[in-house]
Amino acid sequence: MPVGTLASVKGVPQDLLEDLGVQILLGNTYHLYLRPGLETVRGMGGLHGFMSWDRAILTDSGGFQVFSLNELRKVNEEGVTFRSHLDGSSHLFSPESAMEAQIGLGADIIMAFDECTEFPAERARVRGSMELTLRWAKRSKNHFEEHKHRVPWEKPSSAQHSAVSSQLASSAEAAGSSDDESSRIADGGVRATQGLELRSPGRPGAAVPTRTGTLPAAGATQSLFGIVQGGMDLELRRESAERTVEIGFPGYAIGGLSVGEPRDVTREIVESTLQYLPADQPRYLMGVGTPEEIAAYAALGVDMMDCVLPTRAARHGLLFTSVGKISIKQARYANDAGALDPACGCRVCTRYSRAYLRHLYASNEVLAQVLNTVHNLSFYLDTMRRVRHSIRLGEGTGFLSGVSSQPKP
Amino acid sequence: MPVGTLASVKGVPQDLLEDLGVQILLGNTYHLYLRPGLETVRGMGGLHGFMSWDRAILTDSGGFQVFSLNELRKVNEEGVTFRSHLDGSSHLFSPESAMEAQIGLGADIIMAFDECTEFPAERARVRGSMELTLRWAKRSKNHFEEHKHRVPWEKPSSAQHSAVSSQLASSAEAAGSSDDESSRIADGGVRATQGLELRSPGRPGAAVPTRTGTLPAAGATQSLFGIVQGGMDLELRRESAERTVEIGFPGYAIGGLSVGEPRDVTREIVESTLQYLPADQPRYLMGVGTPEEIAAYAALGVDMMDCVLPTRAARHGLLFTSVGKISIKQARYANDAGALDPACGCRVCTRYSRAYLRHLYASNEVLAQVLNTVHNLSFYLDTMRRVRHSIRLGEGTGFLSGVSSQPKP
């Protein structure tokens, strides 16, 4: 899932995202809550209407941004008090208010409010944090069940959106019934968005573009996913997973990773935790990773991932290619007439030279960000297409030796 | 002509410019000479190859940027010595070096090296400056005639480009033979790009995209246009025009305007000067203007114009619409679900709401610049399409009462 923090994948218009084959975007509740604010988004029919995006959207709970952007946050049983990074104003996120916010934003998949445990942390601290997240998970579910009918999909200015969750669940289940073990892996994500390939052709003078896709069943609502915490402790992760599954959600995320721990620890936690999460429901690894990592985690059984890496790296001129990572700012590319990635069919690689991309970056041209982001997203989406293809063919992910983000020798 | 200063219309990929119907772009010799430098662009087959743009390009001579960006410039008979605004390094632009630069950049239309006279200026100063520009015009033409075969269009990595100038001249001439006076106006620009509607579909792994359009006749070269100066003095403008025509160019520009003078003075100078320039050759008014102005100048007989206004205003959130100019940053648009311009069919107005555009701008999202620029260019290009259509129908430009960049009442 590409990250569209403020209802925009930085620099890339929505129709280009559609052309790239983006099936689902991630929005950040914390940022959208501060700007433009919930009432604005709700009034436009939720994020789908506000940003004119018919395909699937997932919002995080806000917990991770509060954790990473606010030094002065205060956590208690009720929730987290924090100050806006924009104007210093004071706010409270609780399980209930995070659900309110996410119902108002109207994404297809929303996340339980959790505490992201810092790294490193003492075992007692990790256990306490995990227990808090479990209590918040119950409160999140309770509040969601009571208020989920308030999702603004019924607004006349916005079409109703498919209930992605039920598709995710049923497709994962269908895949799970296959004889071939590998066909289950990461396939939920593929099928989840079938039927979501809607377009917004729009019409001149339309208030908000008219959507023409299939409508969800009447009364369709969002899907609330639970989040597993437990720090870097395999036993606490197991307990967190089992007790979160006991509460019961249509999908589960592994949170609290990519917070500074070594990568082999991340992998160990993921591999261990996955076995305690139902294989017939979507399993979502938050905040990961490099191209090699997303392929490797898909091979382990992860169905969904999000990461700012492709878009953030693009803004710093770091480009992922079939021959390794390229820093386009380097002078060696100043007169390089070759395509950025000769093996890539994206609109950047088929049209522009490395010399031109280097010039745009070196000259601080905004087009550098646009083109670099389009290419990196294309590379990531191609990687996931190859993962899915291998799974369908029952080939595992042996092709992955060809995926590399190491610099060229 | 949209302005693509550094071989990029800021924020807009080339394929979107093609979709908008952009037929010709302007590049700035001064900026490209400093970054990425002539040898890089020449080595990629000129600007067409470097920026992967098959349609027409015009480069200015560098004189105006030296005038406007360099407080410490020194002018003498040889040329202008100036310091780079980037690193303070010292450079000389002369008629000969400006021709070398523009031949290396390989645009279809290039401009004689001139001195842009400051405003206000004493009559003696204006006359001296005008005489200098005339001497430089002769030197520009001489150097161009001797070296024009060096245009890098023959490079194997770049397709050859149509000789726009001959088309401009012949179409203007054909239009001139029409009984209907108004059919001559601004039509050169329309027909000039017939046969230039090439696309760069590219192919994966191509070094530089392969062009598939019609090739120009063997030995085709660039077209060098002369520039009329003479300050705000009608007599000097007449003399400058007549003596520039005497030197002989395939097209003529009116320079030295939009330098701080009142708008009615600009208009008076343009109207007066046009009558001394051949109506059967392209007449180009440099650095103009608002939507009303470009329509009004086309009605006077101007065939070509360039201006940073649509792109620069877009970056400041100022948007041209059929109901007047809109400052999208204003809070009044925060919850406005309407299209930016209900009468506009561009990909921005048919998809996004004012509320979304306002949010992007207020949040400093790069997508704001992309979408705002696409819309403003669309509005300008639509304005010129209406101008051409009116001319073809012999209707004059009476529709222009509908073109307005005034704020809504």
Interval B333-389: pLDDT, tens: 999 999 999 999 999 999 999 999 999 999 999 999 999 999 999 999 999 999 999
Cβ contacts of A360 on chain B, cutoff 8 Å: 6, 8
pLDDT at A404: 53
Virtual torsion, Cα B333, B339, B342, B347, nearest 10 deg = 140
Cβ contacts of A199 on chain B, cutoff 8 Å: none
Q: Is A121 on the interface with B (CB under 8 A)?
A: no
Virtual torsion, Cα B368, B369, B370, B371, nearest 10 deg = 50
Q: What is this model's ipTM?
A: 0.87
Cβ contacts of A337 on chain B, cutoff 8 Å: 43-44, 157, 207-208
Of A11, A334, A365, the CB nearest to B40: A334
Q: Is A157 on the interface with B (CB under 8 A)?
A: yes
CA atoms of B2 and A199, how far apart (whole Å): 30
CB atoms within 10 A of CB A364: 10
Structural tokens at position A144: 């969601």
8 Å CB contact of A355 and B50: yes
Q: Is B329 on the interface with A (CB under 8 A)?
A: no
Q: Answer yes or no: A60 catalytic.
A: yes
The model's pTM: 0.87
Of B35, B208, B369, the CB nearest to A363: B35
Q: Is A191 on the interface with B (CB under 8 A)?
A: no
Cβ contacts of A43 on chain B, cutoff 8 Å: 335, 337
Percent of chain B having pLDDT more than 70?
81
Residue with tokens 């075969």: B149
Cβ contacts of B10 on chain A, cutoff 8 Å: 365-367
User: How remote is the C-alpha of B389 from its chain's centroid?
Assistant: 21
pLDDT at B70: 76
Distance from CA of A19 to the nearest CA of B (A): 13
Per residue in A9-26, is it b (16+ CB within 10 Å) or e — as a string?
bbbbbbbbbbebebbbbb
A and B: number of Cβ contacts within 8 A? 173
Cβ contacts of A14 on chain B, cutoff 8 Å: 351
Alpha-carbon distances of B389 from B183, B190, B198, B309, B343, rounded to whole Å = 10, 10, 23, 23, 18
Helix (H) or strand (E) holding B322: none
Contacts of A351 (CB under 8 A, 6+ apart): B14, B15, B52, B200, B202, B209
Structural tokens at position B157: 């990595």
Nearest chain A Cα to B363, which residue? A35
- In what side-by-side order are the strands of the sheet with B24-27? B24-27, B56-59, B109-111, B223-228, B252-254, B283-285, B304-305
Nearest chain A Cα to B200, which residue? A351
Mean pLDDT of B310-316: 98
CA atoms of A224 and A227, how far apart (whole Å): 10
CB atoms within 10 A of CB B91: 17
Of B14, B50, B335, the CB nearest to A43: B335
Contacts of B5 (CB under 8 A, 6+ apart): B27, B28, B31, B308
Cβ contacts of B347 on chain A, cutoff 8 Å: 13, 15
pLDDT tops 60 at residue B89? yes
CB atoms within 10 A of CB B385: 12
8 Å CB contact of B343 and A204: yes
pLDDT at A201: 33
Pairing relation of β-strands A318-321 and A324-327? Answer: antiparallel
CA atoms of B358 and B237, how far apart (whole Å): 45
CA atoms of A246 and A285, how far apart (whole Å): 19
Distance from CA of A315 to the nearest CA of B (A): 11
Annotate B4-52 with DSSP letters as a single string.
-TTSS-TT--HHHHHHHT--EEEE-HHHHHHTT-HHHHHHTTHHHHHHT
Of A11, A39, A207, the CB nearest to B367: A11
8 Å CB contact of B363 and A200: no
Helix (H) or strand (E) holding B359: helix B354-362
CA-CA-CA-CA torsion sign (A297, A298, A302, A304): positive
Half-sphere exposure of A133 (CA within 13 A, CB side): 32
Q: Is B234 on the interface with A (CB under 8 A)?
A: no
CA atoms of A104 and A106, how far apart (whole Å): 5
Alpha-carbon distances of A345 from A249, A337, A375, B29, B92, rounded to whole Å = 39, 17, 9, 32, 43
CA atoms of A75 and A94, how far apart (whole Å): 10
The residue of A35, A208, A312, A332 whose CB has the most chain B CBs within 10 angstroms, and thus the best one to mutate to test that interface, is A208
CA-CA-CA-CA torsion sign (B208, B210, B211, B217): positive
Q: Would you give per-residue pLDDT tens digits along chain A (409 residues)? A: 999 999 999 999 999 999 999 999 999 999 999 999 999 999 999 999 999 999 999 999 998 888 888 778 999 999 999 999 999 999 999 999 999 999 999 999 999 999 999 999 999 999 999 999 999 999 999 999 999 999 999 754 433 343 444 444 444 444 433 333 333 333 333 323 333 333 233 333 333 333 344 445 667 899 999 999 999 999 999 999 999 999 999 999 999 999 999 999 999 999 999 999 999 999 999 999 999 999 999 999 999 999 999 999 999 999 999 999 999 999 999 999 999 999 999 999 999 999 999 999 999 999 999 999 999 999 999 999 999 999 898 876 555 545 555 544 4
8 Å CB contact of B13 and A371: yes
The residue of A312, A359, A377, A382 whose CB has the most chain B CBs within 10 angstroms, and thus the best one to mutate to test that interface, is A359
In this predicted model, what pLDDT tens digit does every residue of B129-148 receive, in sequence order?
A: 999 999 999 999 999 999 99
8 Å CB contact of A355 and B201: no
pLDDT at A394: 83
What is the average pLDDT score of chain B?
A: 86
CA atoms of A382 and A197, how far apart (whole Å): 17
In this predicted model, what pLDDT tens digit does every residue of B190-231 receive, in sequence order?
A: 323 333 333 233 333 333 333 444 445 667 899 999 999 999
Residue with tokens 């985690």: A297
> What backbone torsions phi and psi does residue B92 show, to the nearest 5 degrees?
-120, 125
8 Å CB contact of B204 and A342: yes
Report the catalytic residues of B.
60, 306
Structural tokens at position B308: 């940073």
CA atoms of B37 and B268, how far apart (whole Å): 39
8 Å CB contact of B15 and A351: yes
Nearest chain A Cα to B15, which residue? A347
Cβ contacts of B365 on chain A, cutoff 8 Å: 6, 8, 10
> What backbone torsions phi and psi does residue B40 show, to the nearest 5 degrees?
-65, -45
Confidence of residue B396 (pLDDT cuts 50, 70, 90): low
Of A9, A50, A366, the CB nearest to B369: A366
Strand partners, B110: B59, B224
